[in-house]
A = this chain, B = another copy of it.
Amino acid sequence: MGVCMERKGLLIVVSGFAGSGKGTMMKRLVEEYEGYALSVSMTTRKPRPGEVHGREYFFVTKEEFEQKIREGGLIEYAPYVENYYGTPREYVEKQMAAGKDVVLEIEIQGALKVKKRFPDSVLIFVLPPSVEELYRRLKNRGTETEDVIRKRMSRAAEEASMIGRYDYIVINDGVEESVRKLHSLIEAAHSSPGGNEEFIRGIRDGLEQLWKGEK
């Protein structure tokens, strides 16, 4: 009547406005805590200086990407500004089977697709502490014109209407604290009944055996 407590890996989907700091949070999460694997996306866009194949992205041709789609080798994918972006299935499944929580960074439409296909996945939306702070962060990057910043803010306003579809939000008002928060939300997600079916079944079977006096 021993109960199997092996922990199933979860699919963790993180989204957030440009400038919310989600990328940094995810990197830190994987560095600071055990048991996580960061999913690497596949894209047809060209690598920027310093970007490494297999680290920032898997850089492939349009033909290779479309081949992957046909093979069913992507969990989700979407075109974005004339390029494809997608999540290779194989790596994710391998890591989850090994008990790792796999963290994906994807935008909202992709996140909702993942949730539909993997109802046990956990959707987390990262928010800035305020609109002023978001504007400041985008401005401080120094790489975008005022016009681009305005476009990002307008996109964020649209995205904000979808936050209700997420499981959790994290307000990023300091990377230290928000990484800790992110980790504890994922811990909580491991406590759902769906993630503990085997354990619950074990208890149930044990109780029934005992009740019938088989023990």
In the complex, are the beta carbons of B184 and A131 less than 8 A apart?
Answer: no
Among B154, B169, B211, the residue within 8 A (CB) of A150 is B211
Q: How far is the CA of A163 from the CA of B154 in the complex (A)?
A: 43
In the complex, are the beta carbons of B193 and A125 less than 8 A apart?
Answer: yes
Contact with B along A145-172 (1 / 0, CB 8 A): 0000010011011001101111111110
For the complex, would chain A's binding face be called helix, strand, loop or mixed by DSSP majority?
helix
Give residues 35-70 of A contacting B (CB, 8 Å): none
A7 to chain B minimum Cβ distance, whole angstroms, is 12
Chain B residue nearest to A196 in the complex (CB): B169
In the complex, are the beta carbons of A164 and B132 less than 8 A apart?
Answer: no
In the bound complex, residues from chain B placing their C-beta under 8 Å from that of A171 are: 199
Among B3, B164, B167, the residue within 8 A (CB) of A130 is B3
- Interface residue range, chain A: 35 or more
In the complex, are the beta carbons of A161 and B210 less than 8 A apart?
Answer: no
In the complex, are the beta carbons of B184 and A166 less than 8 A apart?
Answer: no
In the bound complex, residues from chain B placing their C-beta under 8 Å from that of A193 are: 125, 163-166, 168-169
Q: How far is the CA of A185 from the CA of B208 in the complex (A)?
A: 29
A128 within 8 A of B: yes
Residues of A within 8 A of B (CB): 1, 3, 125, 127-132, 134-135, 150, 153-154, 156-157, 160-161, 163-171, 181, 184-185, 187-189, 191-194, 196, 199-200, 203-204, 206-208, 210-211, 213
In the complex, are the beta carbons of A203 and B168 less than 8 A apart?
Answer: no
In the bound complex, residues from chain B placing their C-beta under 8 Å from that of A191 are: 168-170, 181, 185
